[in-house]
Structure 1
């Protein structure tokens, strides 16, 4: 094994949003040497845009927010290699090609990998997930021979894949274990809206249906799936989208403390000195009330990167994730969520105001504390809100009367997005009369 004198004192494994945000914010505050390692792509790209490359809306290079010379200009070294092992007692990373690099401080931001649960046939050709750039390339390589595809798992990646394949004219079968799409997250009305919307696009949505196994043709390629309904679905490609898990296999024999992810404290420190973990691969040992130990979300990854950068330049900073926020698209229905909105609320702790357009896929759901009448959270479908306004309301525990009265200020762009303040006000007044007869 050869060892090269390090070019940097801070080494970052992973060039996703967490790792890149850390590097950029360190550079804004310090001239310390930085190296970013990734075996996925030489340059940072927007992972959420991969689907639009497949759908023909953009070229892959358009997913890269920075010019290729940005990194050299900012004196950030890029290493396109795969890390095989962490040798923490030597402050060293060993690469698969036999070379190595040493570090003064190490940031692990290796993201997630698609889950596989030991199904028969899960390792056949034309069976894959969708997370990495290589997954997109693999899907593209198979696409010419796909007439029918089966997607297993009803989360955000699953519905993205359904839209992608549908855009190429493929027949799509969509197996979802739950009784309604994403109903652990979405309340009943929103979940049913998406069920109908998926089917309206010609997708064969099969609820309460799981994968039993994948059958192979004589060439070792998937030719169909067996379901828990004892049905065989003929297809030439299978997408496994039953969630993701931290991408930390290369750390199995290291001294790092791991659970599902790499365990970190509120300063994003691991159990090893000068070793940190952020993003999808980090598992909080002390998550805030109502938050998950692992949050595989773009927004939290960016926030962790910004926080850790301060610590790495000498301003030790606690990670405070702020109010929960996420967004997605279900085909052409935009979805936003802020704060806490449970799919099955406990009445004494959370009440909800819900309005839905009688004909369109537009809805607003506000959750509030029934004892104080203060805002807890929001879910919108087909209604885009201003993040800054809602974030401030949640931080200030805004009274519901004030939220309803000023809801127009939260509308993202009234010129292009319809506003429904009048209808929401009527629903609120009705709910208040019901609560206070």
Structure 2
């Protein structure tokens, strides 16, 4: 019986295993060094904040794996012998495979800062990071201050977590505005203001120089690169992005760059070896997508796709239109298609922007200046329907069509205030148009044409 070994039990690896099992009786082994059972990584913050317990983050009961004849093995792989199809664990054990799937995810970036491996320094990606946070920052008496390094999505989540226990937070962001390499200026400025309103000490244009230790090898303080200022703290969160977790492949024949190089079928250069999820790097970018995408839903899609190939139906990975969502403290964020920061947008792109005069609600719509083709939208504080924007992007609709039927895309609950008339009125005024926004139509929303 063919033996499929999957290294990594995150969303990518587990999705692959489940779909292989749905379509075959192949022998499946999942290896993980983090936890035995699959859990929702994005829910870790809610455990610390008291909204959930760890067992609530596991989508499947512990008996699920045995019932579905999927073997779980806890351990860390040290090396891959591709010639003999053999994996070696750090404890000396070995396991053979017929097909190997690498789904080892990411690890926090470290840039050689002095003190980056001290006690009290952590990322916020693994369950072990959560355990460290509970150890070193259980409350504001044990942890008098935390410093977060890096202004991305994980950083803002960690800041929210710490503030939920009233721990003072200093947030070091090297850019001159939060996440302005991704967000347009209007949106980035709004997030800056929102962060400060949550009593977070936001330090823009500030880089970490070093982390200093006390006499016990624990974090004592950080030094700011630009000013030399010393900030005393008990915890340092390193959230300056992530990198593929593939160190164990250094001495193998598997081709790597930043991640494990794969083609559109998620195949590596070695027959019967594949890579998916955060650790996979496309040899050629798919459209405007990045070669490496550390995103939950793309990992799931890769797992579903690869399972088809493993079961004899060779299938290319086709993620479709880009989308993502996140939360900046109290502000919900969604993006569909492509909306870049001003410094990264293309020559043919124009932006239409609307912002609520008082509340944290705004949108940015990107469109082609010549054809008016809708290219993408960012929404803050207004929930939108993924399937509607996906349809409009695929159909290459004009921005005028998007605005006319924008109410169909609104996903906010009944009785929420709607802002489509104000949004369309601003576009009409700026562009000398006479678009009349349509009322929401369930018939249109659920229409397949």
**Candidates 37, 48, 60, aligned match of 2:54:** 60
1:352-367 alignment runs, 5 A limit: 352-367=351-366
Superposition RMSD on alpha carbons, in Å? 1.4
Does the aligned pair in 1 maintain the 2:339–2:345 contact within 8 Å? Answer: no
**Cα offset, 1:418, TM superposition:** 3.4
**Candidates 122, 129, 147, aligned match of 1:128:** 122
Q: 1:106 matched to which residue of 2?
A: 100
Q: 2:309 matched to which residue of 1?
A: 311
**Cα offset, 1:400, TM superposition:** 1.4
Whole-Å Cα distance in 1 between the matches of residues 52 and 349 of structure 2?
Answer: 43
Whole-Å Cα distance in 2 between the matches of residues 351 and 169 of structure 1?
Answer: 42
Gapped regions of structure 2 (runs ≥ 5): 434-449
Whether 2:153 is the aligned partner of 1:159: answer: no
Residue 351 of structure 2: SS of its match in structure 1? strand
**Cα offset, 1:420, TM superposition:** 1.3
Does the aligned pair in 2 maintain the 1:110–1:281 contact within 8 Å? Answer: yes
Whether 2:338 is the aligned partner of 1:340: answer: yes
Does the aligned pair in 2 maintain the 1:8–1:35 contact within 8 Å? Answer: no
**Cα offset, 1:187, TM superposition:** 0.6
Whole-Å Cα distance in 2 between the matches of residues 202 and 91 of structure 1?
Answer: 54
Does the aligned pair in 2 maintain the 1:353–1:427 contact within 8 Å? Answer: no
Whole-Å Cα distance in 2 between the matches of residues 264 and 341 of structure 1?
Answer: 27
Q: 1:10 matched to which residue of 2?
A: 4
Q: 1:393 matched to which residue of 2?
A: 392
Whole-Å Cα distance in 2 between the matches of residues 254 and 194 of structure 1?
Answer: 44
Q: 2:446 matched to which residue of 1?
A: none
**Cα offset, 1:427, TM superposition:** 1.8
- TM-score normalised per structure 2: 0.93
**Candidates 6, 23, 27, aligned match of 2:17:** 23
**Cα offset, 1:279, TM superposition:** 0.4
**Cα offset, 1:347, TM superposition:** 6.8
Whether 2:210 is the aligned partner of 1:213: answer: yes
Q: 1:50 matched to which residue of 2?
A: 44
Does the aligned pair in 1 maintain the 2:115–2:212 contact within 8 Å? Answer: yes
Q: 1:85 matched to which residue of 2?
A: 79
- TM-score normalised per structure 1: 0.96
Residue 391 of structure 1: SS of its match in structure 2? helix
Residue 89 of structure 1: SS of its match in structure 2? coil
**Cα offset, 1:151, TM superposition:** 0.4
Does the aligned pair in 2 maintain the 1:83–1:93 contact within 8 Å? Answer: yes
Q: 1:3 matched to which residue of 2?
A: none
Whole-Å Cα distance in 2 between the matches of residues 133 and 222 of structure 1?
Answer: 21
Does the aligned pair in 1 maintain the 2:382–2:412 contact within 8 Å? Answer: no
Q: What per-residue deviation string (whole Å, max 9, x for no partner) do you get for residues 383-408 of structure 1?
A: 11111111111111112121111111
Q: 2:424 matched to which residue of 1?
A: 425
338-347 or 371-380, larger mean C-alpha shift = 338-347
Aligned residues: 429
Whole-Å Cα distance in 2 between the matches of residues 297 and 427 of structure 1?
Answer: 34
Q: 1:409 matched to which residue of 2?
A: 408
Residue 51 of structure 2: SS of its match in structure 1? coil
**Cα offset, 1:348, TM superposition:** 4.0
Residue 90 of structure 1: SS of its match in structure 2? coil
Q: 2:444 matched to which residue of 1?
A: none
Does the aligned pair in 2 maintain the 1:188–1:343 contact within 8 Å? Answer: yes
Residue 432 of structure 2: SS of its match in structure 1? helix
**Candidates 279, 284, 287, aligned match of 1:286:** 284
Does the aligned pair in 2 maintain the 1:193–1:361 contact within 8 Å? Answer: yes
Does the aligned pair in 2 maintain the 1:179–1:207 contact within 8 Å? Answer: yes
Whole-Å Cα distance in 1 between the matches of residues 93 and 214 of structure 2?
Answer: 40
Whether 2:132 is the aligned partner of 1:138: answer: yes
Whether 2:144 is the aligned partner of 1:147: answer: yes
Does the aligned pair in 2 maintain the 1:12–1:107 contact within 8 Å? Answer: yes
**Cα offset, 1:432, TM superposition:** 2.1
User: Closer, same or farther in 2 for the Cα pair 1:87/1:417, shift >3 Å?
Assistant: farther
Does the aligned pair in 2 maintain the 1:16–1:44 contact within 8 Å? Answer: yes
**Candidates 241, 246, 249, aligned match of 1:248:** 246
**Cα offset, 1:346, TM superposition:** 4.8
Gapped regions of structure 1 (runs ≥ 5): 1-6
**Cα offset, 1:370, TM superposition:** 1.5
User: Closer, same or farther in 2 for the Cα pair 1:189/1:220, shift >3 Å?
Assistant: same
Whole-Å Cα distance in 2 between the matches of residues 292 and 152 of structure 1?
Answer: 23
341-350 or 297-306, larger mean C-alpha shift = 341-350
Whole-Å Cα distance in 2 between the matches of residues 347 and 319 of structure 1?
Answer: 26
Residue 326 of structure 2: SS of its match in structure 1? strand
Does the aligned pair in 2 maintain the 1:86–1:94 contact within 8 Å? Answer: yes
